[in-house]
Amino acid sequence: MEVWSGETLTFNLSPVPSMAHRLLKISSLATAVFGCSGFYLYNKQLDLNDLSVVRFGRAAATTAFISYDYLTAFKHVEYGTEEYWTLKSKVHRRSAERLRDLCCANRGTFIKLGQHLGALDYLLPEEYTSTLKVLHSRAPQSSMEEIRQVIREDLGKELSELFVSFEENPQGAASLAQVHKAVLHDGRTVAVKVQHPKVQRQSSKDIMTMEVLMRAVHWLFPDFAFMWLVEESKKNMPLELDFLNEGRNAERVANMLAHFPFLKIPMIHWDLSTKRILTMEFAEGGQVNDRDYMKKHGINVNEISENLGKLYSEMIFVHGFVHCDPHPGNVLIHKSEQSKKTEIVLLDHGLYQVLQPDFRLNYCRLWQALINSDMPEVERYSRKLGAGDLYPLFSCMLTARSWTSVTTGISSVPVTHAEDIEIQTNVSMYLPQISELLNRVPRQMLLLLKTNDLLRSIETTLQTRASSSSFINVSRCCIRAVARHKQSKARSKRRHLQIKLEESLSLWRLSMYELILWVKSSMLVHWLTALLTFVQ
């Protein structure tokens, strides 16, 4: 019995040194692997930010912190009280700052998404948009060696073989690329847009990360329904990363809008362009939101705002081919010293929206109804565009006006600061409905909403939002677009002529209305009114 017990004891104890030996081997092997990996990474000077696990971990941690903050911050505060709204503003601000820091750390696609969010002034709380707007000036910058390497790989030559001079400091750095000024051997000055070398490789993984985390947030907060952001990024990012596509878009819109003498699209140098490099004519000017630059160069801000409205109304309503990234860095203003004419220089043609004919026509009809305060037609065409019972909210989002102004007449009721404050205050209150609406409408509508917001942001900065000229430009383009549609369906010359006469009459009436508005606002009328008052 004792012998059996001893044998048992020996049997039970004998594996211990064996297990210890195995653990020692495993730990030694792990140490060796980590040591070699560390030595390899050190020698390769690999940035930890390039590792997907690091980028995902950082994004997941930020998402967790923000979600926890929203879940716990309001537990002991009564909804609707002044304390609740003050606290909610603070939580919004904290969360926006965390999101901004994440975008700056992960760069690339994250900065692009953050810039998109920062432009949604009428869809997101002010704390988010004001905090994320700084991302336009926080874009990453590639080293000169990285730029040389991309040019060497794509064009097969050294910088000195391609350019007489190449400025090392970029003219501007964006989330996906940076632009350098250079001089060709024939003496022409060009702008060379070079993609950040890591963006192409990281973008698909980053979008997958965003999708996973947004689904998690949606699971925690059912009212959060911003999955459309990820869907749009998945569709648009490959297009924005293909600079040959950008060059083709630039040429197409230059030909399409050649009748606008104030528009300048830089010419593309195809022999020096690839998917990651775009070489174009160098264009100078100040940003469209720089009022000081315009004042210094004697540029009329009302003229710029009106011409910008003409440009985008033509793209949206008449052609259905829309430049969807008109943030201030992509729209320059330049006054020629020789001709004294002011030009709008449109840059960054990577992202365009092609509107389907039926969608574009319904959108035209809706805007005509909004301008004419035709509420039954507003409801009808809003429903056709997918808004359903949320058509009042949809109308307010499109026009950035209150429902009272929409029903009264957006072309007759001037924009006031109080109305803007009212809209911003109501955004957080209607966020679930806004999210639901954005998931209902066609995907084409999302980029149009973004474009509308960016243009309104420019108008607000230039202090031209109260101008009625923008509605007149929209009306003129809608009339032309609807007439074109009718003519495409007409089967007889008589019907064609009738449509043309109706179009001409409508445009003439609009011109007369515009003339009346101009006369009313002219100095001559003010002088005559003052004179009559004095005489009386």
Compute the C-alpha angle 83/87/90, nearest 5°: 150
Of 143, 231, 211, nearest to 441 (Cα)?
A: 231
CA distances, 202 to each of 369, 379, 404 (Å): 45, 43, 47
Confidence of residue 62 (pLDDT cuts 50, 70, 90): very high
Contacts of the segment 272-276: beta carbons below 8 A, 24+ positions apart: 272/155, 272/162, 272/190, 272/192, 273/243, 273/244, 273/247, 274/154, 274/155, 274/243, 274/244, 275/154, 275/241, 275/242, 275/243, 275/244, 276/150, 276/154, 276/194, 276/195, 276/200, 276/243
Mean pLDDT over 343-353 rounds to 91
CA distances, 250 to each of 116, 318, 323, 393, 449 (Å): 21, 18, 10, 34, 22
At position 229, the amino acid (one-letter code) is L
**pLDDT for residue 14:** 40
Lowest mean pLDDT among 245-259, 262-276, 463-477: 463-477
Query: Tens digits of per-residue pLDDT, 302-341?
Result: 888 888 888 988 999 999 999 887 778 889 999 887 778 8
**pLDDT for residue 5:** 37
Selected residue with higher pLDDT from 396 and 32: 396
**Three-class SS state of 346:** strand
Compute the C-alpha angle 378/405/380, nearest 5°: 5
Active site residue 348: no
**pLDDT for residue 269:** 96
CA 41/CA 173 separation, integer angstroms = 28
**pLDDT for residue 190:** 96
| pTM of the model as a whole | 0.74
Mean pLDDT over 221-231 rounds to 72
pLDDT at 11 exceeding the cut of 50: no
Of 231, 243, 66, 20, nearest to 151 (Cα)?
A: 243
**Three-class SS state of 279:** strand
CA 171/CA 191 separation, integer angstroms = 9
Contact 23, 174 (CB under 8 A): no
**pLDDT for residue 521:** 57
Active-site hit among 121, 290, 325, 420: 325
* Residue 148: partners with Cβ closer than 8 Å, 6 or more residues away: 158, 159
- Name the range with the highest mean pLDDT among 40-49, 184-193, 424-433: 184-193
CA-CA-CA-CA torsion sign (4, 10, 13, 14): negative
Where do the H-state alpha helices sit in 156-290? 159-162, 199-220, 227-240, 243-256
Selected residue with higher pLDDT from 8 and 151: 151
Residue 512 tokens, joined: 């007369």
Burial class (CB in 10 A: 0-12, 13-18, 19+), 515: exposed
Query: Tens digits of per-residue pLDDT, 180-200?
Result: 999 999 999 999 999 998 888
Query: Tens digits of per-residue pLDDT, 80-105?
Result: 888 988 898 899 999 999 999 998 88
If you compute the radius of gyration of the chain from its CA atoms, what whole number of angstroms results?
A: 29
Query: Tens digits of per-residue pLDDT, 136-160?
Result: 777 778 899 999 999 999 999 999 9
Confidence of residue 1 (pLDDT cuts 50, 70, 90): very low
Phi, psi of 73 (to 5 degrees): -65, -30
Selected residue with higher pLDDT from 333 and 444: 333
**pLDDT for residue 532:** 66
Confidence of residue 21 (pLDDT cuts 50, 70, 90): very low
Q: What percentage of the chain has pLDDT greater than the value 70?
A: 83
Lowest mean pLDDT among 158-162, 341-345, 377-381, 532-536: 532-536
CA 99/CA 417 separation, integer angstroms = 29
CA 395/CA 377 separation, integer angstroms = 12
pLDDT at 295 exceeding the cut of 50: yes
**pLDDT for residue 469:** 60
Whole-number mean pLDDT of the chain? Answer: 81
